[in-house]
Amino acid sequence: MSLADGTRPRHVPDHLTSRGQRVIRSWETLLVGVAVLIFLANTWASPYFLDPWNLSDATFNFTEKAMIGFAMALLIISGEIDLSVAGIIALASTAMGYALQFGVGTPGLVLIGISVGVACGAFNGVLVTRLGLPSIVVTIGTMSLFRGIAYIVLGDQAYNGYPSSFAFLGQGYVFWVITFELVVFLVLAVIYGIVLHATNFGRQIYVIGNNPTAALFSGVRVQRIKMILFLLTGLMSGIAAVCLTARLGSTRPSIAYAWELEIVTMVVLGGVSILGGAGSILGVVLAALVMGMVTFGLGLLNVPGIVMSIFIGGLLIGVIALPRLITLIRKGQI
């Protein structure tokens, strides 16, 4: 080596670009721009948008989905996916409603909802990590399985009559316009942000998503980490099921129908690579805000639901295509 002949090793700097450049070029900056634009457009389009209570209501459009979105982001970064999350909500909510018939109180209901979520996550995780099945196939299967059980139990019935202490979890306010759900969302965002970006565990998630073989060869316990991520996704689906059931005050088997696609959309819009290996929690938070504001703003303008989904779909494609378009134009290929 050059060290042997007494010369100093060449100096390699830590970073190629400055922190400022990295921030400006980031996906999150783009999302902040989009969020500001939508905020301004909403303020301009409807006089009711800038009301604190209305805005508070608007947060319900994303809080429950985003809770699952955080865990889903980790799972997708690791190269897996869970499409059964809405099915888990249906099954967890049905389990809570069933327990309600036997007079189980709020703490018991919460425990049951969360336990069912974790159990469903464990089921997915075992199928993927122990049997080595592809997660997209497994969770398409369990998506129908979990919701199917809810339909068998409930038929066209619904469970009602949740206690008022339970309702607080979905409808309660902690302070002024700040809802309990919003607090849960913010706390979870901080926790997930720290876990993904500042811990060994988070680092290993990125490594697995980028190259599972090299991860294994570097001593990363790939299957164990994936199992934990499926459990986490189940746990978050359970928590979301508690909040959503408490907010609606009833359980129907169609609860949270098709949420899995909205959650995956949120995660991808947040800049998480669907191929795994890249993404951030801040991106998911921003994507949640953007989607929440769009839904709420269009709702104020009495735009029907189907048009909203067209808008969200267009937004997703637009935001993802934009950076690619800029690159192509810069290269002079368009």
- Tokens read off for 287: 């994507």
Q: Rounded distance, CA 99 to CA 116, Å?
A: 12
- Tokens read off for 205: 């998630």
Interface segment toward another protein; rule CB under 8 A; list 111-119, 212-220, 237-245, 249-257: 212-220
240 binds another protein (CB under 8 A): no
Least distance from another protein to the Cβ atom of residue 194, Å: 8
- Residues in 277-296 at the binding interface with another protein, rule: CB under 8 A: 277-278
Q: Rounded distance, CA 193 to CA 187, Å?
A: 10
274 binds another protein (CB under 8 A): no
Query: Contact 28/281 with Cβ under 8 angstroms?
Result: no
H/E run at residue 248: helix 222-248
Query: Contact 201/80 with Cβ under 8 angstroms?
Result: no
Beta bridge partners of 159: 251
129 binds another protein (CB under 8 A): no
- Residues in 137-196 at the binding interface with another protein, rule: CB under 8 A: 194
The closest alpha carbon to 194, from 275, 260, 273, 281, belongs to 281
Least distance from another protein to the Cβ atom of residue 14, Å: 5
Least distance from another protein to the Cβ atom of residue 273, Å: 10
Give 107-114's long-range contacts (Cβ < 8 A, gap of 24+).
109/162, 109/166, 109/242, 110/166, 110/169, 110/242, 113/238, 113/239, 113/241, 113/242, 113/245, 114/235, 114/238, 114/239, 114/242
213 binds another protein (CB under 8 A): yes
Residue with smaller CB distance to another protein, 161 or 203: 203
SS3 60: helix
Phi, psi angles (nearest 5°) of residue 249: 70, 10
Query: Contact 135/81 with Cβ under 8 angstroms?
Result: yes
Least distance from another protein to the Cβ atom of residue 211, Å: 5
Interface segment toward another protein; rule CB under 8 A; list 30-38, 41-49, 132-140, 198-206: 198-206
Q: Which of 144, 164, 165, 199 binds another protein (CB under 8 A)?
A: 199
Interface segment toward another protein; rule CB under 8 A; list 68-76, 123-131, 162-170, 210-218: 210-218
Residue with smaller CB distance to another protein, 144 or 197: 197
Q: Rounded distance, CA 95 to CA 203, Å?
A: 36
Q: Rounded distance, CA 47 to CA 298, Å?
A: 13
- Tokens read off for 16: 């190629």
Q: Which of 26, 54, 171, 210 binds another protein (CB under 8 A)?
A: 210
Least distance from another protein to the Cβ atom of residue 216, Å: 6
Size of the site for another protein (CB under 8 A): 33
Interface segment toward another protein; rule CB under 8 A; list 14-22, 234-242, 280-288, 321-329: 14-22
1 binds another protein (CB under 8 A): yes
102 binds another protein (CB under 8 A): no
218 binds another protein (CB under 8 A): yes
Residue with smaller CB distance to another protein, 20 or 219: 219
Q: Rounded distance, CA 322 to CA 319, Å?
A: 5
9 binds another protein (CB under 8 A): yes
- Tokens read off for 247: 């907010």
H/E run at residue 175: strand 173-175
The contact set with another protein (CB under 8 A) reads: 1-4, 9-10, 12-16, 194, 198-201, 203-204, 206-207, 210-211, 213-221, 277-278
